[in-house]
Amino acid sequence: MAKARSVLDVLVIDDDPGVRDAVSATLARQGHAVRLAGSLAQARRECEHAAPDAVFLDLRLPDGDGMDLLAEVRQRTPHVEVIVITGFGDVDLAVRALRLGAKDLLEKPFTNEQIAAAVQDMVGLATVVRRADEPGVARAPQLIGASAALVGVCREIQLVARTPATTVLLLGESGTGKELAARAIHGSSDRARGPFVAINCAALTETLLEAELFGYDKGAFTGASSDGKPGLFETADGGTILLDEIGEMDLGLQAKLLRVLQERAVKRVGGLKERPIDVRVVASTHRDLATLVDAGRFREDLYYRLTVMPITMPPLRERAGDVDLLAHYYLKTIASELGRTGLTGFDPTVLERFRAHPWPGNVRELRNVVERAVIVTRGPTVQLEDLALGGRPGTARTPAPTAVRPGATMSSASSTSSAAVVLELPDMRLETAERALVTRAMDAARGQKTRAAELLGINRATLYNKLKLYGLAAEGEAQA
């Protein structure tokens, strides 16, 4: 059975031999395969020869702009992670690079420890995606994105994939990609050669759902096949079963599911014999199961059985920087499927509108919007009038800002810190509160921008913009 690899194929692109050697030596000590390029032309040849798992890219190259290569890499191979190497003070370049999909930045001069940490962060996502391409392994869908929120999900997928029997509960709003995550868990695990079976628990009545899940023996009910029928648990033996929208399952059926999880065996409807099964159960829901437990609509014992490994899929509005990447990915794939080879991209106003839209339907909504645009667009690029956002072509809803009171207690948005922060503000202007909060985060992070962005719950591109907007950029230039 193919195993997930932790060795990455890394392409290092820099015209300075000293930088190339330093990065290469650190990566080689970690066991990664390294390729080197000193120019844009050489880098393109390396990418055409074989797509790397990760790229270290200097933006200032002797024969062209590294930003062009960044855009090409992110469009052609969205799962490839790119770390941009920048010189001191290149704030505008850094922000542009992050907006184009760079995962992170390394500012010269950097240390071996920073190089090692940067590539280690990329192992989780690259492993999940690459396992899909190994011979004989079921294809796992790509989870497209470079945001910290999505990379965190991919790390959790990588961890749980190593334990083939662990039950997983996928949480998140509708359209966030819970089934994609379930398929990625299956395709990245030792169960990848086994079946992947999915069923929507909200789509069937209790009786039909029970028969579908557990099967039935002959004569179990009127109209039952004379030969009986195996259920989806039996069909998924050796693989994975996804119980989508499990929060809609009837209480009586929940008790039977609990027994299956405990005994690792199923009893068909109308049958007497228990049949052993070897199945990983992945459940998903957009509901708050804890609230359903309190209301007596979901069994508490089943709740704790399912929450062995909960993974929350982030909404698209919290995946800063991923909207452009996903939009280009969908444009390319859908245009190819529909034979629209002349469609090359989006008008800049379209991407601005995409970034302003709150995406209540999440990734599914974005894909549908792009698909419609591909169908109706007549020119080489998608125009604003080709969109249908918020139910009307060319419209988008922008979330309203939240008011801030002087002296208010504000909680950090970062999942890494739940400590309250008290800000004494001279006025009620939002920019005053924001500047104070950014300053506090930079102080708490001791000038490290990656950590400050985590504390604020934003990505580094947004932080760079805030630092520049409020004249704080010079205070944080020296450290990553």
Q: Give the structural domain span for 466.
A: 409-476
140 lies in a domain?
no
Same domain, residue pair 325 and 442: no
* pLDDT tens-digit series, residues 240-279: 999 999 999 999 999 999 999 999 999 988 788 889 999 9
Same domain, residue pair 342 and 258: no
Same domain, residue pair 157 and 300: yes
User: What CATH number did the domain enclosing 123 receive?
Assistant: 3.40.50.2300
The kind and range of the H/E element at 173 are none
2 lies in a domain?
no
* pLDDT tens-digit series, residues 194-245: 999 999 998 888 888 888 899 888 755 555 455 678 889 999 999 999 999 9
Same domain, residue pair 386 and 414: no
137 lies in a domain?
no
Same domain, residue pair 241 and 156: yes
Look at 366 and 433; give whichever has higher pLDDT. 366
Q: What is the mean pLDDT of residues 439-459?
A: 80
pLDDT at 398 over 70: no
Q: How many CB atoms lie within 10 A of CB 286?
A: 16
- What is this structure's pTM? 0.56
Instruction: For residue 33, report the phi and psi dihedrals to the nearest 5 degrees.
Output: -85, 135
Cα–Cα distances in Å, from 112 out to 13, 32, 119, 456? 17, 14, 11, 27
Matching residue, tokens 């190089």: 115
Q: Is the Cα torsion angle 182, 184, 190, 196 positive or negative in sign?
A: positive
For the chain, how many structural domains are there in total? 4
36 lies in a domain?
yes
